[in-house]
Amino acid sequence: MIIEKKKLVDSLPPEWPEDLLPQIREALKNSGLKVVVLDDDPTGTQTVYDITVLTRWDVQSLSAALAEPHAIVFILTNSRRFPLAEAQAMTREIARNLLSASQLTGRRFSVVSRSDSTLRGHFPGEVDALVGELGGAVDGLLVIPFFEEGGRLTIEDIHYVAEGEMLVPAGETEYARDAAFGYRSSDLRQWVSEKSQGRIKVQDVASIDLSTIRRGGPGAVAQVLKQLHGGRVCVVNAASYRDMEVFVAGLLEAETAGKYFIYRTAASFVRVRGGLGPRPLLNGDQLRIRSGQAGGLIVAGSYIRKSSEQIAAVLSMPGVTALEVSVPRLLDSASRQDEVARVRGRADTALKQGGDVFIYTSRELVTGADAVSSLQIGQSVSDAIVEIVQRLQQEPAWVIAKGGITSSDVATQALQIGRARVLGQILPGVPVWRTGEDSRWPGLIYVVFPGNVGGPGAIAEAVKRLRDSKKEKPG
């Protein structure tokens, strides 16, 4: 049932009064644990800052990351792009290499499987692979899709997606109709059972409710968690960052007592689990856009309605060369290369002339007969977008990539990013990376724009901020 957000939130018990981030930071320092986030697309960095992102997971790279003093490291798997069997094989390989890196460095770690706040992704397949490979007696699998920046709240086990001033149950949104990862249930306990095809019964899924969090505090949360065993799934309710602080403080208490958990979460949990507080949006001095005559590049592949609205707003901006890529032509082997060459050529010309270029896929969604074939179509389109960017001769002043699969493929293949630094956010929930020295264009500003974040003018606002920062002189 759709409900007014203010009405529902106002009906809840008052938030826990104490700021718990200092306590969380102290607990993390004492534990020495590294929080390793396996991110199924690059958008999971949308709440963090001053941390490393890896797109490679060989033992040497992981050892170097574990040795760094920071509490968090992200590993970009982009597993949402692949069929389940490939995603699980990738997850198992990372887990094995993490165990080896941990032995080499002596640094213990805790694993977060970060996925979509609107419940799309390989669940429970990826966490099953983690549990099987990491070994040990896993007491609980914690499901935490809360993402405040995007208006994703979990209240009385119902997961909501904010649309304006209203909260829509997730199962009633367009995200639930996803061709590859669709679902029906908004109640997370029912969703767990649905996604496991009934293997996990609704009555076997535990829950930590907001009454426990807001009235009982960390101690009450810890007591619930200490009772979990045998890998039992537990969903976590949250309607604010303070709720997440209370939960994490209780979680750390339970882990100190010897409990072992694996997490399936959205991005907000990661920020709190790493002890990071809020930070203002990035300003022009922090972005430090390189000077020069080249324009910026925007690439969009997401098909959801929110993305299409945002694309329309950018198309109305002055100084933008719009290049629509025909998906039917990309899927036709006779015309694919001609379409790639056409768009690449026009993009290079516009960039060299100092204009911003917007490359976006035609808006009619093409799907397959089933989830696997739909993923394959998405891969084919994404591969073509990557090829266009790979073949650019002109380095852009900055790059925005819209959509999880698109932003991951552009990062790892077109820009050849092996390692990047997350600077922060340019808009709420929209992370900015600076590419590492091993990338195609070192030091480039790369904006990872999630498909399901922002209002109609969000991409246009990001473009405006990047343009303005390019005009400013670094201090």
Whether residue 201 lies inside any domain: the answer is yes
Using 50, 70 and 90 to split pLDDT, how confident is the model at 286?
Answer: confident
Other CB atoms within a 10 A radius of the CB of residue 314 amount to 23
Whether residue 399 lies inside any domain: the answer is yes
At residue 200, the pLDDT reads 98
At residue 382, the pLDDT reads 84
Whether residue 294 lies inside any domain: the answer is yes
Residues 260 and 358 in one domain: no
At residue 474, the pLDDT reads 47
Whether residue 226 lies inside any domain: the answer is yes
Instruction: Write a three-state SS string for 392-419.
Output: CCCCCCEEEEECHHHHHHHHHHHCCCCE
Boundary residue ending a domain (273, 303, 326): 273
Number of domains, the chain: 2
Whether residue 156 lies inside any domain: the answer is yes
Residues 170 and 54 in one domain: yes
The average pLDDT across 128-140 equals: 91
The average pLDDT across 452-474 equals: 84
Token readout for 25 is 């930071």
Residues 137 and 73 in one domain: yes
Residues 345 and 433 in one domain: yes
Other CB atoms within a 10 A radius of the CB of residue 360 amount to 25
Distance of CA 106 to the CA centre of its chain: 29
- In tens, the pLDDT along 394-428 reads 999 999 998 878 888 899 999 999 999 999 999 99
Return the CATH number at 393.
3.40.980.20
pTM comes to: 0.87
Opening angle at CA 433, ends 430 and 439, nearest 5: 145
Residues 58 and 205 in one domain: yes
Residues 144 and 60 in one domain: yes
Half-sphere exposure of 292 (CA within 13 A, CB side): 16
- In tens, the pLDDT along 317-334 reads 999 999 999 988 998 999
The average pLDDT across 62-85 equals: 93
Residues 185 and 292 in one domain: no
Residues 223 and 82 in one domain: yes
**What is the DSSP secondary-structure string of 138-182?**
--EEEEE--BGGGTEEEETTEEEEEETTEEEEGGGSGGGG-TTT-
Boundary residue ending a domain (221, 242, 273): 273
Do β-strands 445-449 and 430-435 pair in parallel, antiparallel, or remain unpaired? antiparallel
pLDDT above 70 covers what percent of the chain? 96
Using 50, 70 and 90 to split pLDDT, how confident is the model at 308?
Answer: confident
Q: What residues form DSSP beta bridges with 155?
A: 158
The average pLDDT across 234-242 equals: 98
Residues 419 and 449 in one domain: yes
Is residue 303's pLDDT more than 90?
A: no
Sheet holding 158-163, edge to edge: 3-4, 166-169, 158-163, 152-155
Token readout for 56 is 């490679």
Token readout for 460 is 């246009």
Token readout for 23 is 């306590």
Q: Is 408 within 8 Å of 354 (Cβ atoms)? A: no
Q: What is residue 299's three-state secondary structure?
A: strand
- In tens, the pLDDT along 27-59 reads 998 988 999 999 998 888 999 999 999 999 999
Residues 203 and 264 in one domain: yes
Whether residue 278 lies inside any domain: the answer is no
At residue 375, the pLDDT reads 76
At residue 370, the pLDDT reads 81
Pairwise CA distance, residues 321 & 396, whole Å: 13
Pairwise CA distance, residues 398 & 395, whole Å: 8
Other CB atoms within a 10 A radius of the CB of residue 86 amount to 13
Domain range for 392 is 284-471
Return the CATH number at 143.
3.40.50.10840
Residues 254 and 313 in one domain: no
φ and ψ at residue 375, rounded to 5 degrees? -65, -40
Q: Is 299 within 8 Å of 410 (Cβ atoms)? A: yes
Whether residue 279 lies inside any domain: the answer is no
At residue 291, the pLDDT reads 64
At residue 37, the pLDDT reads 97
Instruction: Write a three-state SS string for 428-474.
Output: CCEEEEEECCCCCCCCCEEEEECCCCCCCCHHHHHHHHHHHHHHCCC
Residues 241 and 299 in one domain: no
Average pLDDT, the chain: 93
| 219-237 core/surface letters (b: 16 or more CB in 10 A; e: else) | ebbbebbbebeebbbbbbb
Boundary residue ending a domain (223, 248, 273): 273
At residue 107, the pLDDT reads 96
Is residue 78's pLDDT more than 90?
A: no
Size (the chain), residues: 475
Whether residue 54 lies inside any domain: the answer is yes
Instruction: Round to the nearest angstrom and report the end-to-end CA distance of the chain.
Output: 51
The average pLDDT across 342-360 equals: 95
| Alpha helices (H) along 161-216 | 188-195, 210-211
DSSP 411: I
Least-confidence region, from 9-23, 175-189, 366-380, 387-401: 366-380
